[in-house]
Amino acid sequence: MADQKAILKVGDKEIELPVMSGTAGQDVIDVRALGSHGYFTFDPGFMATGSCESAITYIDGANGVLLHRGYSIEELARDADYIELCYMLLHDKTPTAEEYSKFKDTITRHTLVHDQVNNFFRGFRRDAHPMAMLCGTVGALSSFYHDDLDISDENQRLRSAYRLVAKMPTLVAMCYKYNIGQPFVYPRNDLSYAENFLNMMFSVPAEQYKISPAVARAMDRIFILHADHEQNASTSTVRLAGSSGANPYACIAAGVASLWGPAHGGANEACLTMLEEIGSVDRIPEFIEKAKDKNDPFRLMGFGHRVYKNYDPRATVMRESCHEVLAELNIQDPLLDVAMELEKIALSDPYFKDKKLFPNVDFYSGIILKAIGIPTNMFTCIFALARTVGWISHWHEMLSQKGQKIGRPRQLYTGETQRKYSPIKKD
Ligand code: CMC
């Protein structure tokens, strides 16, 4: 609502703060003037803090709504493809047929990485976690694109974005091939984005890989469902790193690092490991009890979300996709039975109901990825590949905004106050 004010009373002092409204969602109290009154806000974990203005993605957590540039994720997953969504996230409009084809061509023609990147891989142990290699090699791209890069120029920012979207599948596939000791496979320009990724993952020089259209479609849908999710931990990390004017490839490496944790993107790997550990439907109650036990650190992976207090709409699409893929590939996976029963039991348990803990995007994605033949330790890399467009769209948006400032939170200091230092006596 326009012209609303919030009045903050501290002792006998009254501080008037403006209230800002977006196009949808909760209003925010603009606390920027608080510092001049001698106060800062305190909000560890950003439970009630908006860190920026953004026009990319909108989430209504209470009603399970996710919109990219105003379009619902359900419609996008059904009718768009990942390349089109990338265009929309980066350009704030749906492409015309001509723009789509030009954009697709641009992405396709940037997929090769400098041959020197092969040598970076040789420094890693063969059994290194793929996310460790991805974090290092994405960051290392900054060594190829730095000196001539002017991030204040919109066209140069977009070129960096296109390069990242294009090269991510190549790097992710290289991480996999290095792990299993197979030669790297070069990108192929005659294939779609998802097909090219699958080909780089699964083909070998000795034999052609036959790409199943059903698998390519499922892969593309997984990319769509992970493309962006507004100000989550990794996106905020990218924005914070980028706010100092840092190199975009280094900023994306920071996003990869933040995504890796099991509370965030690492949940897909952790979820499949959990389903395997549960193993059979009869063991579910035991794990439900563990998840509810305050003294046990175990949580139901793939359940709960900071923003969604309703079904994660991505999980609904992922669930449907999971059934479709297993049917099309004719795979009977007992883990799907475990997942469905676990979901049913958890959703009817008062602990999960009261805390509004619903399955999130990571709950079903692991089963699809497993069916496609992707090993568990690669799951978070797939998430990073798909989320790169979201990260770089936010970075681009931030640097396009006037008066953009370096991110610099304050703190509540609880350490020693100033005291006298006495040097230790050295013999
Ligand atoms: N299993 C059991 N209890 C849970 C779970 C869970 N998965 N998630 C939250 N809780 C409980 C938690 O113990 C706490 O209880 P209490 O209020 O009694 O202390 C309450 O629910 C609120 O949890 P929280 O950790 O304070 O909530 P948060 O908003 O800080 O955390 C979360 C959100 C996603 C980190 C958390 O739900 C979680 O750890 N889930 C499992 C990991 C997971 O699936 N992560 C993927 C998120 S979706 C993909 C992405 O966008 O990254």
163 alpha carbon to ligand 1 midpoint, in Å?
A: 34
305 is catalytic: yes
> Would you list the DSSP string of 165-194?
HHHHHHHHHHHHHHHHTPPP----TTS-HH
Distances (CA, A) of 113 to 18, 20, 109, 143, 303: 48, 44, 11, 12, 37
- The strand order across the sheet containing 5-10 reads 5-10, 13-20, 28-29
Nearest Cα neighbor of 323 from 314, 333, 313 is 333
**Nearest residue by C-alpha to atom 19 in ligand 1:** 294
Domain 73-401: give its CATH code.
Answer: 1.10.580.10
**CATH 2.20.28.60 for domain 2-50:** yes
For residue 355 and ligand 1, the question of a CB distance below 6 A is answered with: yes
For residue 265 and ligand 1, the question of a CB distance below 6 A is answered with: yes
Which residue spans of the chain are classified as CATH 1.10.580.10?
73-401
Q: What atom of ligand 1 comes closest to residue 355's alpha carbon? A: 21
Which residue spans of the chain are classified as CATH 2.20.28.60?
2-50
For a substitution probing ligand 1, which of 355, 361, 380, 383 has the most ligand atoms within 8 Å of its CB?
355
Quick count: other Cβ atoms within 10 Å of Cβ 293? Answer: 10
pLDDT in tens, the chain (427 residues): 557 999 999 999 999 999 999 999 999 999 999 999 999 999 999 999 999 999 999 999 999 999 999 999 999 999 999 999 999 999 999 999 999 999 999 999 999 999 999 999 999 999 999 999 999 999 999 999 988 899 999 999 999 999 999 999 999 999 999 999 999 999 999 999 999 999 999 999 998 899 999 899 999 999 999 999 999 999 999 999 999 999 999 999 999 999 999 999 999 999 999 999 999 999 999 999 999 999 999 999 999 999 998 889 999 999 888 888 888 888 888 888 899 899 999 999 999 999 999 999 888 898 899 999 999 999 999 999 999 999 999 999 999 999 999 999 999 999 999 999 999 998 7
Q: Which of 305, 312, 394, 396 is catalytic?
A: 305
How many Å apart are CA 140 and CA 176, to the nearest integer? 18
Give the list of residues 6+ apart from residue 27 with CB closer than 8 angstroms, or none: 1, 4, 19, 20, 21
52 alpha carbon to ligand 1 midpoint, in Å?
A: 24
Nearest Cα neighbor of 369 from 412, 331, 417 is 331
How many Å apart are CA 10 and CA 15, to the nearest integer? 8
Rg (CA), the chain: 23
How many Å apart are CA 167 and CA 184, to the nearest integer? 14
Strand partners, 66: 59
28 membership: H or E segment, kind and range: strand 28-29
2 burial class (0-12, 13-18, 19+ CB within 10 angstroms)?
exposed
Torsion angle (degrees, nearest 10) of CA 142, 114, 83, 198? -120
264 is catalytic: no
